[in-house]
Amino acid sequence: MNTKLLASLLILLVTASLSQNNFQKGYEYCAHKKQNSTNIFLPGDMGPNSPRHSYDVLDYKLNLDIRSCFISPYPRNFTGSVIITFRIDSVLNSINLYAVNTSLLISGVGLSGVSFTHTNNTLTVNLNRSYNPGEVTQVRVDYQHQNVSDGAFYVSGGFVFTDCEPEGARKWFPCWDRPYDKATFELTAKVSANVKLGSNGKLMDSTLTGDSLYYHWKSRDPIATYLVVMSAKVNYNLDIVYWRPPDTFPDSVQMRFYYNAGENPVPIENIIGNMTTYYSLRFGTHAFEKNGFATLNSQFSWGGMENQTLTSLCPGCWSENLVSHEYAHQWFGDMITCGTWGDIWLNEGFATYCEALWYENTGGYTAYKNDIINDANTYFSGNTGFPIYRPEWINNTPPVGTLFNTAMTYCKPAAVLHMLRYTMGDSAFFRAIKSYATDTANFKYKSAVTDDFAASISQSYGSDLGWFVDEWYKQANHPVYQNYYQFIDIGGGNWAVGFQARQIQTNTPFHRMPVVLKITFTSGPDTSIRVDNNSNNQVWWWTFNRTPSAFAFDPNNDIVLKQGTTTSGLVGIAVNQNEIPGKFALKQNYPNPFNPVTKIKFDVPARSEVELKIYDAAGRLVSTIFSGVCEAGKYTADFDASNIASGIYYYELRAVNEATGGIFKDVKKMVVLK
């Protein structure tokens, strides 16, 4: 057999085997790829919620000669320079840049840079004078990339590409390599004449000089260093399609598809316009001057990487699920970038949620909800017992297997976004997310942290949603319910229906949530009631003139991250009817003082209407623990004071004997001490 033909067949077989895997979801591709990154991590120097350093990078201008990388024996070394424009934040006479020693050899500095040291993966550039806050200047760094395999700059067989997340850009150009400091970007790259090279932003020109081709790409929009990319190959296939924004007719946006021989990107090319329109309507018009996708080779064997305006895909991976995930990052991750790695859920949780939204767009709400349930189940099976938001990652980037944990970084935050939609309601939710994504003053083309997101959605909603963000993003685990409902025939064809919402988990605090309850009757329509479950052991009673037959808690399973039971029982109290007391009595609570739970015991000698209530020292009602009919017995009620302050409180028992009409009332004092 012809050796060239055999080599081509082997390439096709490898590509096919790589694209055929057990993954069905985009987040699975994405997580697997990023969990297997080989990038090195260095401590940062940021403070919580306010990441800063001594200067703000405004622009990177790279000039690289990578021509020899496309010619056998395909070396990994190249020469380059970068001009960094930056604004000074505090008085300084030098700047630090990330530059990995084993990858980059610094040969000189210029412009405002006069000398340098390069040790411990840090390049210190000494400036020609002291600069004051607000001044803008530039340094030029000349360097060589060494002939090493470093997990960020890849070379093989006529293919050259970069892959940077989370901190790999520092391996192929000196930079401030943290996600919050975004800057515009410009690249001029010298390649051999038979190479197509894609990068960020817009292709300004490509100039052929002899047997060399000079590509000039420029990103007008700020970009995080981990999203900077080159994807280049000898004889790369390139298709270009156009998307026309509905609000800027007749302008159009170029969508570039780079792909390998034997691949078929046409199905994705056919849907990318509809996907762009859908995401634009949901989150604001597509923000960049071009976009695109590039399949790579076996060195990028899994998943995708959402480089700004040019997403990398594994060979043959023209999967609609993968594309819907990675493309959503152009809004969440690229246009708005996580301010710290502790906020990575703002990237991956949103992209995973957008997979479900794309299902909703193409297959209806049931398809969306099935996908959300899949996300919830993935979380349940892989829960690490840690919260989604990780402030300890602000200064110390964790291993990639932890940073990109499938259950915690992708699936749980996507399921939480669904519960936020349920909590707010569809119109308010999508209005808030669009407001967040289109906020040019604070977030668009910038970065955000978790508290920024909480403030933004609260402002749009008109009510503080910090409680939701705190319990679902900053607390670990999930609620476990042990709920009770009760039906009581109160005569005259009327029925009382009681419900007690009770959470029993010990590995996370009480989670406030709106709760939908459905009551089914022997005749007539069902009744659905929505209540705000804002304290543990909360009790509600309703009266109906029909006979109830069934009770359902969260009948549509909108609180997808929950476990537990809802069963028939005495609402609000435990009862011992083996011993019938001789008279009414209200006992002193125990323990007292207490934090956070105490037990209140009382005796009921005969069937009675009973109310047990808690008041503060000013006589204001704090909570109704129980209200309903009690048969004769000794009762115990738990009171949880997790959501109230320390202080003196009073609990009151009021009982009316149904047979005699006699009234019993007693009040006792208790102390919450935190």
Residue 491, classified by CB atoms within 10 Å of its CB into exposed (0-12), middle (13-18) or buried (19+), is exposed
Contact 232, 263 (CB under 8 A): no
Contact 539, 627 (CB under 8 A): yes
- Please state which of the ranges 367-376, 377-386, 492-501, 585-594 shows the lowest mean pLDDT: 492-501
In the prediction, which pLDDT does 10 show?
37
Q: What does each C-alpha distance from 470 to 389, 605, 642, 645 come to in angstroms?
A: 9, 45, 15, 18
* Full DSSP string of 240-268: EEEE--TTSTT--EEEEEEE-TT---HHH
> What's the DSSP call for residue 336?
B
pLDDT at 554 over 90: yes
- Please state which of the ranges 91-105, 222-236, 247-261 shows the lowest mean pLDDT: 247-261
In the prediction, which pLDDT does 27 show?
62
Please report, rounded to a whole number, the percentage of residues in the chain having pLDDT higher than 70: 92
The three-class DSSP label of residue 427 is: helix
pLDDT at 347 over 80: yes
Torsion of Cα atoms, 461 then 466 then 471 then 473, to 10°: 80
Residue 668, classified by CB atoms within 10 Å of its CB into exposed (0-12), middle (13-18) or buried (19+), is middle
In the prediction, which pLDDT does 518 show?
98
pLDDT at 629 over 90: no
- The CA distance from 573 to 653, in Å, is 13
The token pair at 243 is 């998307």
pLDDT at 318 over 90: yes
Q: How confident is the model at residue 6 (pLDDT cuts 50, 70, 90)?
A: very low
* Full DSSP string of 157-203: TTEEEE--TTT-GGGTS-B--STT--EEEEEEEEEETTEEEEESSEE
- The CA distance from 641 to 629, in Å, is 25
In the prediction, which pLDDT does 247 show?
73
Largest CA distance in the chain: 109
* Full DSSP string of 440-461: TTTTTTSEE-HHHHHHHHHHHH
Query: Which helix (H) or strand (E) element contains residue 553?
Result: strand 548-553
Q: How confident is the model at residue 32 (pLDDT cuts 50, 70, 90)?
A: low
pLDDT at 48 over 50: no
Prediction pTM value: 0.85
CB-CB neighbours of 280 under 10 Å: 17
pLDDT at 33 over 90: no
Q: How confident is the model at residue 35 (pLDDT cuts 50, 70, 90)?
A: low
- The CA distance from 297 to 663, in Å, is 83
Number of Cα atoms under 13 Å in the Cβ half of residue 58: 11
pLDDT at 46 over 50: no
Q: What does each C-alpha distance from 241 to 253, 254, 255, 326 come to in angstroms?
A: 8, 6, 5, 18
Contact 98, 42 (CB under 8 A): yes
> What's the DSSP call for residue 406?
I
- Please state which of the ranges 178-192, 428-442, 447-461, 565-579 shows the lowest mean pLDDT: 565-579
Sign of CA dihedral 375, 377, 378, 380: positive
Amino acid at the residue 60 = Y
Average pLDDT over residues 400-415: 97
Contact 174, 228 (CB under 8 A): no
pLDDT at 49 over 70: no
Nearest to 334 by CA among 447, 252, 417: 447
- The CA distance from 620 to 633, in Å, is 29
Higher pLDDT, 576 or 308: 308
Average pLDDT over residues 581-605: 95
Residue 26, classified by CB atoms within 10 Å of its CB into exposed (0-12), middle (13-18) or buried (19+), is buried
- The CA distance from 191 to 207, in Å, is 10
pLDDT at 40 over 80: no
CB-CB neighbours of 334 under 10 Å: 26
Contact 252, 272 (CB under 8 A): no
pLDDT at 420 over 80: yes
Contact 231, 198 (CB under 8 A): yes
Contact 99, 143 (CB under 8 A): yes
In the prediction, which pLDDT does 572 show?
72
In the prediction, which pLDDT does 631 show?
83
∠342-347-349 over CA atoms, to 5°? 95
- The CA distance from 153 to 145, in Å, is 9
- The CA distance from 286 to 333, in Å, is 13
> What's the DSSP call for residue 152?
S
Q: What does each C-alpha distance from 85 to 82, 95, 458 come to in angstroms?
A: 10, 12, 36
Contact 216, 206 (CB under 8 A): yes
The three-class DSSP label of residue 28 is: helix
pLDDT at 9 over 70: no
pLDDT at 482 over 80: yes
pLDDT at 664 over 80: yes
pLDDT at 21 over 80: no
Nearest to 161 by CA among 298, 31, 44: 298
In the prediction, which pLDDT does 42 show?
37
Q: How confident is the model at residue 7 (pLDDT cuts 50, 70, 90)?
A: very low
**Is the peptide bond preceding residue 399 cis, with omega within 30 degrees of 0?**
no
pLDDT at 250 over 70: no
Residue written as token pair 């694209």 = 19
Q: Which residues pair with 86 in a beta bridge?
A: 57, 137
Q: What does each C-alpha distance from 479 to 347, 359, 405, 482 come to in angstroms?
A: 25, 28, 21, 10
Higher pLDDT, 42 or 126: 126
> What's the DSSP call for residue 77?
-
CB-CB neighbours of 665 under 10 Å: 12
Average pLDDT over residues 128-140: 97
What mean pLDDT value characterizes the chain? 91
In the prediction, which pLDDT does 100 show?
96
Contact 639, 660 (CB under 8 A): no
* Full DSSP string of 116-129: EEEETTEEEEEEEE
- The CA distance from 290 to 201, in Å, is 6
Average pLDDT over residues 33-46: 48
Nearest to 156 by CA among 319, 322, 315: 315
